[in-house]
C-alpha cells in the first residue's frame, strides 16, 4: 500500500494488569488469531496495522505493555505522544478492575496529550466465571468520561469495535493528530507525528 494513501499514523497503548488479555486482544485485532497459551509480555510488544475507517486509511502503531510491576519502569517513555489508550481488565478478576484507577493515573502522569482517546475494555466475556458486571464497567467508564466496551479475544466479540471506536475518537478530536508528511518516513517510536494544533 502506498504511503500517500495513509492519512495519519496513530499510536495506541494497551495497558492493564498482567494476564487480562492485552496481548490476546492485540493478536486478535492485528492478525485475527488467538493463542490460548499466549505468553506474558516481557517489557513491551509492538504491532502495526492499516485500517480503513469511514473510507479513510490510517496506520495504527499498537503498543502492548507488560502489566507486571517489575517492568513498570520501562513504560513511561511508551506513553509519550500516544493518541489513544485501551485500558483492559478481566471480567473474572475483581482486582484487575480495581486497578484501573492506578492505570488511569499513570496516563495522567506520563501521557503527553491531555485529550487522549481512552477506552475501558472488559475482556474475557466468554468465561462463565464473571465477577464484574457490564453495568460495573459502564459506570466506571462514565465516571471517568471514557468510552466502554466488553470483549472476548477468544471469540473475537467486540475486539474490532474497540479499536475502531478509539480510532474514530482520535480522528474527531481537534489537535490530537496531524496528517502524514508524505515526504518523510514515519517514526513509529514517536507515534507517527509531532503534536500539532491542526484540527485536520
pLDDT for 35 equals 66
Distance CA 165, CA 178 (A): 18
Distance CA 66, CA 59 (A): 23
pLDDT confidence band for 29 (50 / 70 / 90): very high
pLDDT for 138 equals 97
pLDDT by residue (tens digit) across 106-130?
A: 888 888 888 999 999 999 999 999 9
pLDDT for 165 equals 96
pLDDT for 188 equals 41
pLDDT by residue (tens digit) across 35-46?
A: 665 555 545 668
CATH topology of domain 8-172: Rossmann fold (3.40.50)
Range in 20-34, 54-68, 135-149, 171-185 with the lowest mean pLDDT = 171-185
Distance CA 66, CA 75 (A): 8
pLDDT, mean of residues 168-185: 74
Distance CA 104, CA 102 (A): 5
Cell of 100: 484501573
Where along the chain do its domains lie?
8-172
Q: Which of 154, 131, 147 is nearest to 23 (CA)?
A: 154
**pTM of the predicted structure, to 2 decimals:** 0.82
Is residue 71 within a helix (H) or strand (E), and if so which, with residue range?
A: none
Distance CA 61, CA 198 (A): 20
pLDDT by residue (tens digit) across 138-168?
A: 999 999 999 999 999 999 999 999 999 999 9
| 182 pLDDT more than 50 | no
Amino acid at each position: 500500500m502506498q504511503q500517500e494513501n495513509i492519512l495519519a499514523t496513530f499510536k495506541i497503548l494497551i495497558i492493564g494488569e498482567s494476564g487480562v488479555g492485552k496481548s490476546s486482544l492485540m493478536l486478535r485485532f492485528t492478525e485475527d488469531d488467538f493463542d490460548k497459551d499466549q505468553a506474558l509480555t516481557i517489557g513491551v510488544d509492538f504491532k502495526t496495522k492499516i485500517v480503513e475507517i469511514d473510507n479513510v486509511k490510517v496506520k495504527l502503531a499498537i503498543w502492548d505493555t507488560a502489566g507486571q510491576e517489575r517492568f513498570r519502569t520501562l513504560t513511561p517513555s511508551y506513553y509519550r505522544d500516544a493518541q489513544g489508550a485501551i485500558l483492559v481488565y478481566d471480567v473474572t478478576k475483581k482486582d484487575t478492575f480495581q486497578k484501573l484507577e492506578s492505570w488511569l493515573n499513570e496516563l495522567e502522569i506520563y501521557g503527553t496529550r491531555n485529550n487522549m482517546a481512552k477506552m475501558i475494555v472488559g475482556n474475557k466475556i466468554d468465561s462463565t466465571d464473571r465477577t464484574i458486571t457490564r453495568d460495573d464497567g459502564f459506570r466506571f467508564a462514565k465516571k471517568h468520561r471514557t468510552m466502554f466496551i466488553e470483549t472476548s479475544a477468544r471469540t473475537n466479540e467486540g475486539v474490532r469495535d474497540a479499536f475502531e471506536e478509539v480510532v474514530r475518537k482520535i480522528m474527531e478530536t481537534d489537535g490530537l493528530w496531524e496528517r502524514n508528511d508524505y515526504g518523510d518516513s514515519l517514526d513509529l517510536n514517536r507515534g507517527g507525528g509531532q503534536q500539532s494544533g491542526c484540527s485536520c
